[in-house]
Structure formats: structure tokens, C-alpha cells
A and B are shown apart, each in its own frame.
Chain A
Amino acid sequence: MNLQNILSEIEQKDPEVFDRLSDRRKVMKNFTSFAGKVALASIPFAFGSMFKKAYGQTPADIVGVLNFALTLEYLESEFYKLGVAAPGLIPAGTPAVAALTKIRDDENKHVAFLRTAITASGGTPVSFTAANFDFTGGNGSQTGPFAGVFTNYDLFLAVAQTFEDTGVRAYKGQAGNLMSNNDVLTAALNIHSVEGRHAAHIRYMRKARQTANPGNALYVGNIKPWITLNNSNIGSAAVQASYNGEELTMQAGVNILTVGGQTFSAETASESFDEPLTKAEVLAIVDPFII
């Protein structure tokens, strides 16, 4: 699947939303039928988004953003499902099994949550299966730069780190597009921080693997739970786009290197702030993984 197809698929979902929600009574009817189907916790969220629609705020961008997020969550969810199920991939009897299962489960829940949220907002969620992805990054050839990702555990962790760090940057880049809907914005932020937790743990796992396997070229430099400069700490140029731009030391016009009369290294300044990616940048990064 190329970039244009992804973009158009997501954006095609939006126009009908206007028609469906132009009638306020219909919105309430939709809500009533919806409310019987979703978990209790989701109802305030669903009601909030519909309430705003009933008063004429534009949901199109919001559904588009949610479908973009859902695409990324499918990518992660299917990746971890295959990884956890792959025989012999994750070292048996180590904490890695529980950790990667936990991350898989979180990503599955994000998929379900976003599907519910999109439907509640009057949109149509995108759908993907494992067959839609090429986790070698080969755009369907299954011979991309990450060939062997489900047999080589160190390669699997490298791709996992890249997906998590990219996910954090992707959500961050969309926050501004969700400001018209407080409930959706808060939900997105609540997912965003979980992706940050996942990223930190995968990096922590990679640090331990590096220590145990000092000769493995997939591990580069001092791997920390946070991102230093634009270092991927992964011995593959194929992941670099996920880290470009992370090296910023200026924030909102403030020079972090000297802020408050103290001196900070460029490493510290860059680690202290994660950077957003645009939708186009993220789609370009994940494009080789989506068939």
C-alpha cells in the first residue's frame, strides 16, 4: 500500500460523517444505540464527542486523526501478536515473555478502544489484519531490511523500539488537531503516555541484551529509556527517519543548553523533550511495513 492510498483511505471515511450527524436527533439516536454496546468507561467519551457534533463542530479531522492512530495501533498490535506467538523468538522463562505480552495486550486494547471511539464519533474505523503488513519493512516482498524479525530476537526488539518511539512521536504530532474535542484529546494523551512507557521498557530490555551480547551490531552506544540526540541506538540506517529531529535543543524559543543560567549538554537537552512527527512523516516511516 503506498502513501497516497493510506491517506485517501483514511480521508474517504470522513465526508459521510457530516451527513450522518447533521440531524441532531439522529445523533442522539445513534448515541442511544451505541451506549448499549460499549464499556461504561467509554460513554462519557462517546457522549462528549457527539455533543460537540450536535452543535456543529467539525468531526471530520478528528475521525481522520483517530483512523490514523488506529492504523498505527494495528501495526503494533499485529506485530506483537506475531512476535509473542513465534516459537523460540522470545527467550523462554525470562521476564521478556510477560513484558511483551503486556505490551501486546495494551496495543490490542488501543485498537478496540479507537474502533469504539471512531464509531461513536460517527466514523468508520479502518481495518487491518496481519496479512496487510510486511514486518520486514519490505513493502510486501517479505525481504526488507528487517528480514528475520520473527526469528531474530534482537532484530525484533529493534523494530519494537522503532515502532514505540515512532508511535509516541505520531500521537504528539496530532494533539494540536484534537483541541476542538477535549474528550478525544485526553484519550489520545492517555494512550500517548502508555506508548512512552512501552518505548522506555523496550529500550531497557535492549540495554540488558546489549550488556549480555556485547558483540551484537544491532546494539549501538548507550541505550537509555529516553532518546538521546537523534541516536536510534540501532545498527540499521533503515530506522533513522524515526529519530531525525529528536536532537532539538531549542524549545519554544528557549535555548535549553543554557536555560536558567545553568549549562546542559546537548544530550541532556534533547533527552528532556520528545519531538513530534507529522502525519506525512509517520506514514512515510510505516509505509514499507504496510502492504
Chain B
Amino acid sequence: MSTKNLTENGLELNERPDNSFSRRKFLGVVGAGSAALATASVLAACGKNNNSSNSGVNLGSGDVGILNYAYALEQLEAAFYTKVIMSLYSGITPAEQALLTDIRDHEVAHRNFFKAAISAAGATPLQDLQVDFSTVDFGSRTSVLATAKAFEDLGVTAYNGAGKLITNPAYLVIAGKIVSVEARHAALIADLISNGTFANTTDANGLDMARTPAEVLAIADTYVVTKLNASNLPTS
């Protein structure tokens, strides 16, 4: 894949101009980066709740709604890694760059796939999301990898939680095909942060977590400017 294509495509996802001073200040106090998930939870608890309101971009209902939900998450991941590769953190090794480039390519392929699959299903894909990575220091290995870990672990729990909401077996298989790749990413990123932490997410039964769309979107909200409405998604 050419870098040019990716660059162009990365720009498709417009970042919000850097005008969110008060929010960034708040994040600075809370301590962003190394505790990205916790921070996101705090923010979600503090403020807006996109998912129960009837405003915002509606993800839709049924299987298409779940595909749009996955498409939103893949847009977020693709945009993040596109930026990671465009502005490599200082001290990155050739091996790390190769692995992160692979992950970028996988996420861009996932994103493009969902857009095509939703269209193929006769539905309208979600619009291009506006993302906000102002809490990420792309020059810092620590910040980039902590954010990557948060995204990958979130993605795993999102797909794990979405499986039961899907009615078409073909889509369930697709979700399964993608989630194990996300799990591979998550393990690698965790190992890059601290070797051996590839599966520290497991519970007492040795299982990963599952999250509902509402839980996932509340966490992702920190990085997504576009207001998403998940109120029509299936819940069981």
C-alpha cells in the first residue's frame, strides 16, 4: 500500500482544530495518556452521554447498526494509526515501525471493508467521523502506545460484546475474523509497553471482557467529535 494513499485517506478524517483548551487542561489535571481508559471513563461520567440521547448521527438498527458501530470504531483506529505513522514517535525502532505500519494497514483495510460491506447490504454507511487526538502526544512512545493499547483493548471488548447483537451468521463470522486480529494487535502493543503483559486483561476465569455499545461509545467519546446516537442499536 502506498503511503500517499493512506495520507490522503487519513486527511479524510478531519481533525478538530486545536481549540479545546479547557478540555485539554482538564485532561492534563486528570493525567491523560498513561491512563487513557480511566480518563475516558471520568470524562464520560462527567459530561455528555451521546448514547441515550436522540440527537447525533444515528448508527441505525439491526445488523446494519452493528456494522456501522464497528465502522465507527475502525474509523477511529485507522485515523489514529495513520497519524502515528505520519508522525513517528521519537526513538521508534525499525521493528516497531514495521509492526505499527502493519497495524495501520489492517485497520485501514477494516475501515474500508465495513464501508463497502454496509453499502453492499443496501444500507448507507456512517459518515466520516471527525476525530480528536489532542490528548495524545504523538512524539512520545509512552503516549502513543498507551493510546494504542486503550484502542485495541476497547476494540476487543466491543466486538466481544457485539457478537450476540448480530442476527446474520455471516456477519458474526466477519466480526470473529476481525476481533482475533484486534486481539493480536492488543497483545503486541501490550508487549511493546511491557513484555509479558499480552493477556493481563483476563478475569478470574481466563476470559477477556465484553462491553456493550453504550459502554464502548462512552469511552471512545474522548476521541470522537462527531456525536453518535446508538439508541436504535439492538440490545440483546
Binds A, one of B2-10, B23-31, B39-47: B2-10
A206 in contact (CB, < 8 A): no
How many chain-B residues does the 8 Å CB contact rule pick out? Answer: 62
Residues of chain A touching chain B, judged by Cβ–Cβ distance below 8 Å, are 39, 41-42, 95, 98-99, 102-103, 105-110, 112-113, 168, 171-172, 175-176, 179, 182, 185-187, 189-201, 204, 224-226, 251-254, 256, 259-265, 268-269, 271-276
- 8 new A-B contacts, CB < 8 A, other than A190-B209, A204-B191, are A41-B204, A172-B173, A175-B173, A186-B160, A190-B207, A196-B187, A251-B174, A260-B116
Question: Using Cβ atoms and an 8 Å threshold, which residues of chain B touch A103?
Answer: 199
Contact at B195–A95, with CB atoms within 8 Å?
Answer: yes
Contact at B163–A224, with CB atoms within 8 Å?
Answer: no
Question: Using Cβ atoms and an 8 Å threshold, which residues of chain B touch A95?
Answer: 195-196
Contact at B184–A196, with CB atoms within 8 Å?
Answer: yes
Contact at A176–B207, with CB atoms within 8 Å?
Answer: no
Question: Using Cβ atoms and an 8 Å threshold, which residues of chain B touch A175?
Answer: 163, 172-173, 176
Question: Using Cβ atoms and an 8 Å threshold, which residues of chain B touch A199?
Answer: 180, 184
Interface SS of A by simple majority: helix
Binds A, one of B48-56, B86-94, B104-112, B141-149: B104-112
Bound complex: CA A275 to CA B187 (Å): 19
Residues of chain B touching chain A, judged by Cβ–Cβ distance below 8 Å, are 1-2, 5-6, 9, 99, 102, 105-106, 108-113, 115-117, 120, 156, 159-161, 163-164, 166-167, 169-174, 176-188, 191, 195-196, 198-199, 201-210, 236
Question: Could you name 22 residue pairs across A and B whose Cβ atoms are closer than 8 Å?
Answer: A95-B195, A99-B198, A109-B204, A109-B205, A109-B207, A185-B164, A190-B160, A194-B183, A194-B206, A194-B207, A195-B180, A197-B198, A201-B198, A201-B199, A225-B185, A254-B113, A254-B117, A259-B109, A262-B5, A264-B105, A268-B1, A272-B178
Contact at B159–A189, with CB atoms within 8 Å?
Answer: yes
Contact at B187–A201, with CB atoms within 8 Å?
Answer: yes
Contact at B198–A179, with CB atoms within 8 Å?
Answer: no
